[in-house]
Amino acid sequence: MGDEQKLGYEEMLAQSRAAFEAVPDFTVAVEEEFALLDPETLDLVNRFEELQAAAPGTELDGHLVGELIASEVEVRTGRCDAFADAAALLGVRRDQLRSLAEPLGIGLAATGTHPWSPWQKQRIIDTPHYRRNDELLRYVVWRNNSFGLHVHVGVNGPDRAIRVCSALRAYLPELLALSASSPFVDNVFSGLHSARTQIFTRMFPRCGVPDSLQSWEEWETYVRFLYETGSVTEHTQIWWSVRPHLAFPTVEIRICDAQPDLAESRSLAALCYALTARIARALDEGEPLPELPHRLIEENFWRAIRYGLSGELIDFGRGEPVPARARLEQLLEWVRPVAEELGAAEYLAIPERNAAERQIARHEEGASLREIFSEQVAWHVRTPAS
C-alpha cells in the first residue's frame, strides 16, 4: 500500500470522527431504491442513464443516483432536521420520480426483488465505483438484483454512534420482518418472505449482522485492517445491515426491503428512526439493553427471512418464541415516548398484512406472478404524497 492511499483513508477516518463529534442528534435521511420497468411487460429495463440525463434542472437534481444495475434507481430525501419533513419528502420524491419516468415510458416498482427478470440481463452501470465492485465480486454482484430502503440517523458522539450501531443489531430481525416484500424471485415462489435479504446478506462479504463494537477506536482499527490488507478499496465495501457511515455522520440501517406502499415506507422509516433515538437515550441514561451474541441474533434473522411478519421471533428474555407481530407491538410501545417527542409517533403502525404477506396470499389464491406483481406496481402508483 502506498503512502498516498494510506493518507487517504486516515484522513477519511479523522474527518468522519470530527463529523460525528459535530452532528446534532437525530437528523434523518431516507433512501428508496426502485426497479425500472417496461410499463407493458413489467420486465426490468436497463434505462437508468436516461433518467439520470433527464434529472438536471428538475426538482430531483441532486437527489437521484445510480445503484449498481441500470434497471434500478435510488432517490434520497436529503438530510432533514425533523422526521415529519422526511416523511413528507418520501411522498414528494416518489411523485417527482414518477413525473420524470412516465414521459420516458419507464415504469416503477418497489419490492425487494423483481419476480422474474433474470439477473443475467441486467447491466452494471458504468461508474468507477461499480466497475471496481464488479471486478472485485463478479458473480456475487451480478446476482444482487435487489431493492431496499435505507435510513440514516444522525447520532452525536463517535463512541456513542458505535454503541448505538451495536445495540441496533438485536433489533434487525424485527425491522426485517416488518419490511419483508420479496417472496418471489427467479420466476418462483421462494418460500421466503425476504428473498432479497437471503441473496444479499448471504452472498456479499462483510454483510448482514456485524460484530458488536463499543468504541470508535475499535471501529477505526477494523477499517484500517481492511485497507491495509487490501480487503477493501472503498469504505462502502462494508455492507453491514447496520453501520456507522464514514461519509456522513450517521448510523445507517440497511436491512429493510423496498416498500410498494408509501404509508408503509413512512411507517418503517419512522420505526428505524425512533428505535435509533430510543437506543441512544437508553445508553445515555444507563438503561440495560440486550447484549446478544451474533449466533442468537442470527436465529431471529433467519426467522425473519423465512417467515417475516407471519412467523415467530425468539424472546431471549423469556427463552421462547413469540409471534413476530406481538414482538413488533412491544417494540412500538418501547419507542413511542421518544417517537412522540421527535414527531414520528403518528407514522408508527403495523399493517394487517405487509407486502410479502399480501403477495403470498394472492399466490395461494392462484394468482399468477404477473398479476401479483402488477398489483404491487399499482400500490406504488396510487399512493398519495400527502
Longest dimension (CA), the chain: 62
Angle at which helix 216-228 crosses helix 3-22, to 10 degrees, equals: 160
Q: Residue-wise pLDDT tens for the chain (386 aa)? A: 554 456 589 999 999 999 999 999 999 999 999 999 999 999 999 999 999 999 999 999 999 999 999 999 999 999 999 999 999 999 999 999 999 999 999 999 999 999 999 999 999 999 988 889 899 899 999 999 999 999 999 999 999 999 999 999 999 999 999 999 999 999 999 999 999 999 999 999 999 999 999 999 999 999 999 999 999 999 999 999 999 999 999 999 999 999 999 999 999 999 999 999 999 999 999 999 999 999 999 999 999 999 999 999 999 999 999 999 999 999 999 999 999 999 999 999 999 999 999 999 999 999 999 999 999 998 765 544 44
Q: Which domain holds residue 205?
A: 3-382
Task: Determine the Cα–Cα distance for residues 53 and 386; give it in Å rounded to an integer.
Answer: 28
- Kindly report the pTM of this predicted structure: 0.95
Give yes or no for a contact between 32 and 265, defined as CB atoms under 8 angstroms apart: yes
Q: How do 250-257 and 242-244 pair as beta strands? A: antiparallel
Pick from 193, 192, 184, 178: nearest CA to 367: 184
How many domains does the chain fold into? 1
Which CATH number does the domain housing residue 364 bear?
3.30.590.20
What is the DSSP secondary-structure string of 257-279? EP-SSHHHHHHHHHHHHHHHHHH
Q: CB neighbours (10 Å) of residue 4?
A: 7
